[in-house]
Amino acid sequence: MTDVPDSQEVFEARLRAVGEAQYHDKHPFHHKLHSGDCTPDQVRAWVINRYYYQTRIPMKDAAFMSRVNDPALRRSWRSRIEDHDGSAPGEGGIARWLKLAEGVGLDPDYVASEVGILPATRFAVDAYVRFVRVEPLLPAVASSLTELFAPAIHKNRIAGLLEHYDFANSETLSYFQNRLSEAPKDVAFGLGWVMEHAVTRADQDAAVRALTFKTEVLWAQLDALWSAYVEPGRIPPGGWQPDEGLAS
C-alpha cells in the first residue's frame, strides 16, 4: 500500500477496470437473455425484478440529494430523478419499464405492486440505497459510475432483444433507448466530480471500492434470478410464480 495518489489517468483506469472485471454484462444471465435463450417466463422474472431496481434509483438519488448542502450540486443531480419519474403520468424511465412489462405479457399493475420481487433482489437493491444514504458523498457518487459501462450493455441489449424476441419493439425497449442519451450525461458529471474530489490515495481507494460494491449489487440480482428461474430453478418464498401477474 502506498499513500501517493494515482495520477488522474491511472485512477480513471482503475475505475474502468472494475467494469471490465465484473460489470453485470459478464454475467451468464445477460448472455442468455441477449442471445434469445431465455424462456418467456425467464424474461418476465427479469422484468419484474429489475423493476424493483428501477424504482429505487430515484429514491437513491433523492437520498443523495438529502445529504448535499450545495444547491449547485443538487441542481446537477436533479435531472436523474426527472429522467426516471418524468413530468407527468406515463412519462419517465419507470413508466417506460412498465411498457416493457406489458410487452412481455405482464400486468403492469402487478409489476408496479412490487409483489413477487425476489427477497435477494430487495436485499441487494436496498443495500445500494442504504450505501448512498450513509456513506460519505465521494463513495456515494462513485457508486453511480456503473453508468460508465451501461451504454454498451444497453446497445447490445436492444440489438439482442430485437433480434430474438417477438415482444421487442421501439415502444417496449424505449427505456433502454432513452438511457443511451441520459446515462452519458449523468456519468460525465459523476466521473468529473469523483476525479475532482478524490484527492488522496485513500479517497481514490474508497471510490474504487464503492464502484466495486455497486457491481456486486448488480451481479447479485442476476445470481438471484439464475438461482430462482434457471438453475436449480428453485423459486424462494416470496418470489414470483410464473402463473402470477399475467396480463388478462
Q: Which is nearer to its own copies, 7 or 69 (CB)?
A: 69
Q: Minimum distance between the CB of residue 120 and its own copies, rounded to whole angstroms?
A: 19
Side-chain half-sphere of 27: how many Cα atoms within 13 Å?
Answer: 20
CA distance 161 to 184: 22
Q: Which is nearer to its own copies, 70 or 166 (CB)?
A: 70
Q: Minimum distance between the CB of residue 226 and its own copies, rounded to whole angstroms?
A: 26
Q: Minimum distance between the CB of residue 130 and its own copies, rounded to whole angstroms?
A: 11
- Closest to 245 in 3D by CA, of 34, 37, 47: 47
b/e string for 16-30 if b means 16 or more Cβ within 10 A? bebbeebbbbebebb
Q: Which is nearer to its own copies, 4 or 88 (CB)?
A: 88
Name the site residues for its own copies (rule: CB under 8 A): 55-56, 58-60, 62-69, 71-72, 74-75, 78, 81-82, 84-89, 92, 94-95, 114, 129, 133
Q: Which is nearer to its own copies, 95 or 191 (CB)?
A: 95
Q: Which is nearer to its own copies, 20 or 114 (CB)?
A: 114
CA distance 194 to 141: 7
CA distance 178 to 41: 25
C-alpha separations of 199 from 70, 74, 179, 196, 235 in Å: 19, 21, 30, 7, 46
Q: Which is nearer to its own copies, 141 or 158 (CB)?
A: 141
Answer for the pair 99, 171: CB distance below 8 angstroms, yes or no: yes
Q: Minimum distance between the CB of residue 90 and its own copies, rounded to whole angstroms?
A: 10
Q: Which is nearer to its own copies, 99 or 133 (CB)?
A: 133
Q: Minimum distance between the CB of residue 21 and its own copies, rounded to whole angstroms?
A: 30
Q: Minimum distance between the CB of residue 67 and its own copies, rounded to whole angstroms?
A: 7
Q: Minimum distance between the CB of residue 200 and its own copies, rounded to whole angstroms?
A: 23
Answer for the pair 102, 172: CB distance below 8 angstroms, yes or no: yes
C-alpha separations of 240 from 72, 117, 118, 163, 197 in Å: 42, 6, 7, 27, 42
- Closest to 77 in 3D by CA, of 187, 169, 153: 187
